Amino acid sequence: MEGRNLKHLNTCNRLSNYSAKETPCCSCIELKEMMAGMMTEQKKLQEQLSKLQTTTEQQNKIIVEMLAEHKLQLQTLNKSQKNVTSLSSKFPLKSEEDLQKVESEICDSNEEKYISAVKYLIDGSAIKNLERIFSREICVMYNTDGICGKKCLKNFKRIYKIVIAAISDYSPNSEKEFRAALQVVKKRHFRVVCSQNKNKN
């Protein structure tokens, strides 16, 4: 009888050990679930970091391209400003020789540069700043059509063209503006002459 009970006890112990090995406890289950959750979060974090890295690389590429384009624009602008400054130094035209010289220098390849230079000098108002292009003496000696005993500026076709083009940048009627500007310069001249004559008297 005693031997039978011992055998049953051993059998129960073996079953107990088997159950302990095959069936995890609640803490183990919770730990396993927690680790699985951490692994999932880690995977998500890695994916987010990967996306962020890709986005950063793309943004850096865009920034580099923008900087390169900006640098090119600055170089072009600097070159353009140098051209304008260089051509601006040819003005104002003070004599018929100056008119003839610049007329011969203007061509299809540099016409736009001359227009830019004249725009820069006129600065949005031929009436105020025409004497930056033509000296007062030239403005008195010439008019657009060569009437009333004056010489004709239209004979200098390329000069006339670039001046009209520059004025048309801001004025809807560039020829009218040019004529008005010439008249203003003439009036300035005659006011000075009258003032000088009064002082002599």
Instruction: For residue 38, give the H/E element and its range.
Output: helix 26-88
Closest Cα to residue 125, out of 185, 67, 171?
171
DSSP 95: S
143, β-bridge pairs? 152
**pTM for this model (two decimals):** 0.60
Examine the pLDDT at 89 and tell me if it is beyond 50.
Answer: yes
List all residues 6 or more positions away from 87 whose beta carbon is below 8 Å from its beta carbon.
113, 114, 116, 117
Question: CA dist 181 to 58, 117, 130, 167, Å?
Answer: 55, 18, 6, 11
DSSP string, 132-186: GTB-HHHHHHEESS--TTPEEGGGSHHHHHHHHHHHHTT-SSHHHHHHHHHHHHH
Return the sign of the alpha-carbon dihedral for residues 160, 166, 168, 174. negative
pLDDT greater at residue 132 or residue 32? 132
Query: Given the structure tokens 């001249």, which residue do they identify?
Result: 189
Burial class of 132 by CB neighbour count within 10 A (0 to 12, 13 to 18, 19+): middle
pLDDT greater at residue 102 or residue 16? 102
- Per-residue pLDDT reduced to its tens digit, 17-51: 544 455 667 777 777 778 877 888 888 888 888 88
What was the pLDDT predicted at 163? Answer: 97
Which of the four pLDDT bands, split at 50, 70 and 90, describes residue 6?
Answer: very low
Please tell me whether the peptide bond between 92 and the residue prior to it is cis, using omega within 30 degrees of 0. yes
What was the pLDDT predicted at 117? Answer: 93
